[in-house]
């Protein structure tokens, strides 16, 4: 046990400096802090995610229409690019 005293562990992440908290109160505090951290992380992920393209700007919808038969239909079937 002497080696435990010479090599202290890492500093605690959370420390109660005043008062005597019960185990339930500490668990509630940890749960609230964890939920808050996850909410912030989720908000950052939503902000970093690209927005869905607008259906009005999506040119792929124009490609799905097959050319209609008729005079000069070969011109409508051409797609540059």
- Does residue 64 sit in helix, strand or coil? coil
- Does residue 19 sit in helix, strand or coil? coil
* pLDDT tens track for 12-52: 777 888 888 899 999 999 999 999 999 999 999 888 878 77
Task: Output the pLDDT for position 81.
Answer: 46
Task: Output the pLDDT for position 18.
Answer: 86
Q: Name the pTM for this structure.
A: 0.46
Q: Is the Cβ–Cβ distance between 76 and 68 less than 8 Å?
A: yes
Q: Is the Cβ–Cβ distance between 28 and 43 less than 8 Å?
A: no
């Amino acid at each position: 046990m002497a080696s435990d005293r010479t090599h202290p562990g890492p500093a605690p992440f959370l420390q109660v400096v005043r008062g005597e908290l019960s185990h339930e109160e500490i668990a509630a505090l940890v749960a609230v802090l964890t939920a808050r951290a996850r909410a912030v992380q989720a908000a950052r992920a939503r902000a970093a995610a690209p927005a869905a393209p607008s259906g009005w700007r999506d040119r792929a919808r124009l490609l799905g229409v097959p050319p209609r038969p008729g005079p000069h239909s070969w011109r409508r079937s051409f797609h540059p690019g």
